Amino acid sequence: MILLLKVLLAPGLVVASSLAGRRWGAQVTGTLVALPIVAGPILLITCLQHGTAFGARAAASALLGLVTLALFAVVFARCSRTTGWAGSLAAAWAACLAADVALARLHLAPALGLAVVLIAIAAALRVLPPAAPEAGRSGAPGWPWWDLPGRAMATAALVVLVTTLSGALGPGLTGVLAPFPIATSVVAAFVLAQHGSGQAVQTLRGVLHGLAGFAVFCFLVAVLAEPGGTALAFGVALAATLGVQLGWQALRRRAAVA
């Protein structure tokens, strides 16, 4: 059962969010890949393999991993204006990994970790470059046949690697690595290559807007896993995440109309 969760659950969620994003646009794509579609299964498998105490600690550390995910978005967006997708991805991954290694040494209470993430999201949105329109790069994308299988395989590889090594990595590093931007990287790099920096920035803005719900998910797993058990913690966390995302999108639509 755990093996099936590793190779099917997260990759299936990534493919589904990618297809939905193709239908509704760049910011929607970013918001969908910012849901805990990879980190959620990693944390669930971690709880099942090592117990709720280990899983709760990993979920608390995953909040710090969201800080590095916000950093990834900013670095990629800024580099996208002057470099291609490969250079932008290399710079953003280097920044993200360096921050992950540093933050894995910290142990913050879940409430403090949640506050840090929300501050980081707000700061990242302020320093994200504007998504200026670019001539000559519009139109429907020509998705290659390997795009969705590639996303699924990259996601499965990350889930298997992190969960297999979780015992050796410990809950701190396992949690920080759980939100590592595999799905975000693939989506951002493809959008940059096909549509230019403007659309890539729009996608990453959607990612940042979606991180609040992701943070709520990690926070609730961290505080509920031990007293309530795995099923209760993940059920409540998932429901709350969807509620936060829907509420946030409704507020943004109202603000746009006003």
DSSP code string of 90-142: HHHHHHHHHHHHHHTT----HHHHHHHHHHHHHHHHHHSPP----TT--S---
Q: Is residue 180 part of a domain?
A: yes
Q: Is residue 235 part of a domain?
A: yes
Whether the model clears a pTM of 0.85, i.e. scores above it, the answer is no
Q: What proportion of the chain, given as a percentage, has pLDDT over 90?
A: 38
Q: Is residue 213 part of a domain?
A: yes
Q: Does the residue 142 lie in any domain?
A: no
* Domain annotation covers residue 141: no
Give the number of domains in the chain. Answer: 1
pLDDT value at residue 135? 47
Whole-number Å distance between alpha carbons of 183 and 14? 7
**Low-confidence winner among 22-31, 64-73, 151-160 (lowest mean pLDDT):** 22-31
* Residue 134 located in a structural domain: no
| Residue 12 lies in domain | 2-129+147-257
User: How high is the pLDDT of residue 26?
Assistant: 60
pLDDT of residue 225: 95
In a domain, 137, yes or no: no
Structural domain includes residue 140: no
pLDDT of residue 136: 45
- The answer to whether the CB of 30 falls within 8 A of the CB of 205 is yes
Which residues, including other chains, have CB under 8 Å from residue 145's CB and lie 6 or more apart? none
Q: How confident is the model at residue 138 (pLDDT cuts 50, 70, 90)?
A: very low
